Structure 1
Amino acid sequence: MSGKKKESGKFRSVLLIIILPLIFLLIAGGIVLWAAGVNVLKPIQEAAAKTPVLKELVPETEDRKDTSSTAKNNSNTAALEKTIKDQKSEISILNKDLETSKSEIDRLNQKIRSLEKTAEDQKKTSKDNSEESSSSDTASNDKVISVYKSMDSGKAAKIIAQLKEKEALKILNGLSKKQLAEILAKMTPEQAATYTEKIAASQE
């Protein structure tokens, strides 16, 4: 029992003689250094921050905050750079599509102009052919009428009576009044009446 008391007494002695003055010295030294402008807590915080269990208990130092902030900024910068790269790529694709569309529009416009020119040429050719045909028909009609003008009225009346009504009227309208009267006189009364009505209607 007395042995235990002796050990306890020795421990107290060691505590009072060595440990307490040491703690006092550490505190006093820390205060002096702090007053001199030295951050005493910084190395302790850094050492504690590297220890897995103590890391959660120790508040972040300015350096750790700066490191964390820099890492976050770097991450944001990388994300922004990736977004910019993607958008540039998209713009490039859109520009290529636009160029393709422009060339396609130019090709279609050229095709339209070509078709319009072809249609205009065909229209012109058709008009020229129509005029030629019309002038040819007029020349042909004049020639036929001149034949009937020189023909005997009796013979002319018989032939005209056999023709289609449209052709007969063309010839009769091209004759002089005297020749017309002679030819109608040689026709049957029914034929003469029919042609007279038609000639009168066409001249109104």
Structure 2
Amino acid sequence: MSDKQKESGKFRSILFIVIIPLIFLIIAGAVVLWAAGVDMIKPIQEAAAKTPILKELVPETENSKETAAKQEESKTAALEKTIKDQKSEISILNKDLDTSKAEIDRLNQKIRSLEKTAESQSKDEKKTSAAASAESDKVISIYKSMDSGKAAKIIAQLKEQEALKILNGLSKKQLADILTKMTPEQAANYTEKIAAGKE
């Protein structure tokens, strides 16, 4: 006997001894279960639906359709809830943004108001300083035109700070004339203060 015939003989013996009786038993068992009222198709379909290659060949059962529909509904509900939550969060963030913009506008208005106030105060200070300077110049010009003896007596009676302002505004000649008309103590005091102020 050739090798092909031996292999063919082995296959036939396996076919007749194992496979055909097995198929017969499966069919007989299915007929018995069907006669007993057990639905064998449904579990087979469900098992086939879970098997990767067979699930494409087996039509969908009602249970799988219902399960798929329920899963889709739950996914849709979850997505709708997520969308609703995100819209709520966006609404809250928009309100916060509007509040922040209003606060920024209020602060900008306050800054402009403070800048105007500072500008106004600066102008007032300049006017006051200019007016004080003009007054000081006026007083100094009076002392420039005054006799040095009279000026010396009056300056000696003034507060030291006012006296020094007047003396600093005079020319060197006028200052020398007035200091010579003062007492030596007064002249020394004012000379010392004038020299310290120029340093």
Same fold (TM over 0.5): yes
Tell me by how many angstroms 1:60 deviates.
5.0
Residue 111 of structure 2: which of 113, 116, 135 is its match? 116
1:43-122 mapped onto 2 (5 Å cutoff): 44=34, 48=37, 58-61=39-42, 65=46, 66-122=61-117
Tell me the residue number matched to 1:192: 187
Tell me the residue number matched to 1:131: 126
Q: Is the 8 A contact 2:167 2:175 kept in 1?
A: yes
Describe the SS at the equivalent of 2:136.
helix
Aligned length: 157
Q: Does 1:181 align with 2:181?
A: no
* TM-score, normalization by structure 1: 0.69
Q: Does 1:201 align with 2:190?
A: no
Could you give the per-residue CA deviations for residues 155-192 of structure 1, whole angstroms, max 9, x where no partner exists?
Answer: 21121112111111110011122221121111111110
Q: Does 1:152 align with 2:152?
A: no
Q: Is the 8 A contact 2:144 2:170 kept in 1?
A: yes
Distance 2:80 2:150 in 1: 100
Unaligned runs of 5+ in 1: 1-30, 35-39, 50-57
Distance 1:97 1:68 in 2: 43
Distance 2:77 2:45 in 1: 27
Distance 2:102 2:164 in 1: 56
Give the CA RMSD over aligned residues. Answer: 2.5
Q: Of the two, which has the highest radius of gyration?
A: 1
Distance 1:67 1:155 in 2: 126
Distance 1:105 1:89 in 2: 24
Tell me by how many angstroms 1:143 deviates.
0.5
Distance 1:60 1:169 in 2: 122
Moved over 3 A (4+): 62-65
| AA partner of residue 126 (structure 1) | Q
Describe the SS at the equivalent of 1:88.
helix
Distance 1:74 1:63 in 2: 21
* TM-score, normalization by structure 2: 0.70
Tell me the residue number matched to 2:156: 161
| AA partner of residue 194 (structure 1) | N
Tell me by how many angstroms 1:91 deviates.
1.1
Unaligned runs of 5+ in 2: 1-23, 47-60
| AA partner of residue 74 (structure 1) | A
Describe the SS at the equivalent of 2:131.
helix
Could you give the per-residue CA deviations for residues 43-90 of structure 1, whole angstroms, max 9, x where no partner exists?
Answer: 947x825xxxxxxxx545269841221222122112111101110110
Distance 1:171 1:194 in 2: 15
| AA partner of residue 61 (structure 1) | K
Residues 1:170 and 1:177: Cα distance change in structure 2 (over 3 Å): same
Q: Is the 8 A contact 2:34 2:40 kept in 1?
A: no
